[in-house]
Amino acid sequence: MSAMDNLPVVVIGAGPVGLAAAAHLHERGLPCAVLEAGESPGVAVRQWGHVHLFSPWRYNIDPAARRLLADAGWVAPDPDALPTGAELVSDYLQPLAELPGLKPNLRYGARVEAISRLGLDRLRTAGRDTTPFLIRLTDGDEMLARAVVDASGTWHTPNVLGASGLPARGETAAAAFLEHALPDVLGADRDRFAGRHTLVVGAGHSAANTLLSLAELAAGQPGTEVTWAIRTASPSRTYGGGDADALPARGALGSRLREHVDAGRIRLLTGFSVHALIPTDDRVAVVVRHTDGSEEAVTVDRIVAATGFRPDHSIATELRLDLDPVMGATRALAPLIDPNEHSCGTVPPHGVDELSHPEAGYYAVGMKSYGRAPTFLMATGYEQVRSVVAALAGDWDAARDVQLDLPETGVCNTNTDDSTGGGDCCGPAPVAEPAGRGLATGISGGLLATPLSLVTLSAAPTGETGGCCSN
């Protein structure tokens, strides 16, 4: 046994995938330390806790975590029920984090500043694979690790509004008018939207969820206007597979959104590219360029930027990463998750081999592993960490026996232009039951929460949000 074997595997992030990694490490008898920047598990999930996931509980619980919880007397939720983000935390993540086998290994308020090798910068090769990782926290504390599993997610690094991948002109100065993805339109954030004109930019499920909530608000609140802007000429990707979707709640999302648009309750702008934001008194003018080169300004009160997320690899700049130049995932994984070819349900099984970098022992998993691809499913993250932990335990047969049974979306791929303006494949969706609307299967990093009632479309006036994804 080497000195490295006595060091812990450090997991960054106590969201669904990070805690799943901890559960697998515990089952394998490997020392583990989980570093969570927030003060509790599932911090990012809590931020969209007001929405339902559109995947039922059966897809949202990691097998190793289920075994540990069951041994402690935990009663699993109804496998066919659709939890809210808040329920995902309270009924699953919090009990998991409180297990005696895991709780001592969790450290909250521990934000990672940088990862390197002890005494070696990125240039040094000799002895690299047998040198411990050095992890430095923002409070100045440091710790050593035999391996690093980065499940920190992408929730805190959203894409910008500008169509070129750069902030639109004036975007920073107009920050007071901008909303993060999945605001609680019908709850805590209602006053910011009631009686106002909101522009939602994005073609993903997060955009769709927000649009449905705004349409419901507009039905009962005079003066509330809703405009939806996408870059492509058609919203077909957002409408999705409808009845062909293996998850009925996800399929219902696009169907209901289409009805609102067709009825004029949501104004749809296509070929829409944000060029500049100009605050004017208490409103903001959004200057857009159309595909024909013409420009116009749309003046609104609020802008919801549901434009997706991107990974932040800055903590690993001293590590040797091999990232695909387009996706920001590993080169081996990138073609398997390319949104030009795959939807959430068509991503093939993958594990430690596809997640490996030249820096042996470092793995980005969960939402972060997908880079800018919006097709992540929480179940995918669970299989990733099962494979990675098996490899760390030396069980390469199990590590390479990767299997994945995902619910199909009814859409065979996503168009690259759509994904540029749109968010995630794992977004919120209305449920087929009386209550709800839902987010996919969670969002990285880790989404408060009274179930929302769906508006009856026929009764709406004619004038007028952890997840399929995450970790």
DSSP 309-363: B----GGGTTS---B-TTTSSBTTTHHHH-TTT--GGGPPP--HHHH--SSTTEE
pTM for this structure? 0.85
Please report, for residues 136, 178, 205, 304, the alpha-carbon distance to residue 193 in angstroms, rounded to integers and kept in the order given. Answer: 41, 12, 19, 10
CB atoms within 10 A of CB 80: 8
DSSP state of 84: B
> What's the pLDDT score for residue 237?
75
Tokens 């097709």 label which residue?
375
234 shares a domain with 89: no
Residue 300 has pLDDT above 50, yes or no: yes
Extract the tokens encoding 181.
């993805």
Contact predicate 430/438, CB 8 Å: yes
- Using CB atoms within 10 A of its CB, is residue 243 exposed (0-12), middle (13-18) or buried (19+)? exposed
Contact predicate 59/421, CB 8 Å: no
**Euclidean distance between CA atoms 375 and 361, whole angstroms:** 25
Query: Containing domain of residue 97, as a range?
Result: 3-156+309-400
Tokens 């990672």 label which residue?
112
364 shares a domain with 343: yes
> What's the pLDDT score for residue 94?
98
209 shares a domain with 131: no
295 shares a domain with 323: no
> What's the pLDDT score for residue 245?
64
Count of domains observed in the chain: 2
DSSP state of 452: P
As a whole number, the mean pLDDT across the chain is 85
**Euclidean distance between CA atoms 212 and 73, whole angstroms:** 39
Contact predicate 187/448, CB 8 Å: yes
Residue 274 has pLDDT above 90, yes or no: yes
Residue 286 has pLDDT above 50, yes or no: yes
Poorest-pLDDT segment among 36-40, 241-245, 280-284: 241-245
> What's the pLDDT score for residue 410?
41
Confidence at 293, pLDDT banded by 50, 70, 90: confident
> What's the pLDDT score for residue 233?
85
250 shares a domain with 190: yes
Residue 452 has pLDDT above 60, yes or no: no
Q: What is the signed CA dihedral for 410, 413, 418, 421, rounded to 10 degrees?
A: 90
> What's the pLDDT score for residue 409?
53
13 shares a domain with 26: yes
Domain annotation covers residue 25: yes
The sign of the torsion formed by the CA atoms of 260, 265, 269, 274 equals negative
Q: What is the DSSP string of 421-441?
A: H---TT---B-SSSB-BEESS
CATH number of the CATH domain containing 62 = 3.50.50.60
Residue 18 has pLDDT above 60, yes or no: yes
Closest CA to 347 of 427, 440, 397, 411: 411
150 shares a domain with 11: yes
Q: What is the pLDDT of residues 214-269, one digit of tens each?
A: 999 999 999 999 999 998 888 877 786 666 666 666 777 888 999 999 999 999 99
Poorest-pLDDT segment among 61-70, 248-257, 265-274: 248-257
Confidence at 460, pLDDT banded by 50, 70, 90: very low
Closest CA to 274 of 373, 414, 157, 160: 160
**Euclidean distance between CA atoms 217 and 196, whole angstroms:** 10
**Euclidean distance between CA atoms 262 and 282, whole angstroms:** 30
CB atoms within 10 A of CB 89: 29
Mean pLDDT of 286-313: 92
Domain annotation covers residue 165: no
Q: Are strands 225-229 and 267-269 parallel, antiparallel or unpaired?
A: parallel
Domain annotation covers residue 449: no
Go through the chain and tell me how many residues it has: 471
Closest CA to 304 of 401, 427, 389: 427
**Euclidean distance between CA atoms 340 and 359, whole angstroms:** 29
Share of the chain above pLDDT 90, in %: 69
Domain annotation covers residue 221: yes
Domain annotation covers residue 470: no
Residue 414 has pLDDT above 50, yes or no: no
Contact predicate 354/373, CB 8 Å: no
Domain annotation covers residue 278: yes
278 shares a domain with 189: yes
> What's the pLDDT score for residue 235?
86
Domain annotation covers residue 435: no
Mean pLDDT of 207-220: 96
Identify which has the larger pLDDT, 66 or 4: 66
**Euclidean distance between CA atoms 449 and 47, whole angstroms:** 10
Tell me how far the alpha carbon of residue 248 is from its chain's centroid.
Answer: 20
Mean pLDDT of 11-40: 98
208 shares a domain with 118: no
Confidence at 179, pLDDT banded by 50, 70, 90: very high
| Ramachandran assignment for 384, one of left (phi > 0), alpha (psi -120 to 50 degrees), beta (any other) | alpha
291 shares a domain with 318: no
Residue 394 has pLDDT above 90, yes or no: yes
348 shares a domain with 334: yes
Helices (H) and strands (E) in the chain, counts: 13, 18
Domain annotation covers residue 457: no
Q: What per-residue string of b and e applies to 430-466 under the rule 16 or more CB within 10 Å gives b?
A: bbeeeebbbbbbbbbbbbbbebbebbeeeebeeebbb
Confidence at 324, pLDDT banded by 50, 70, 90: very high
Contact predicate 63/425, CB 8 Å: no
Identify which has the larger pLDDT, 379 or 341: 379
335 shares a domain with 282: no
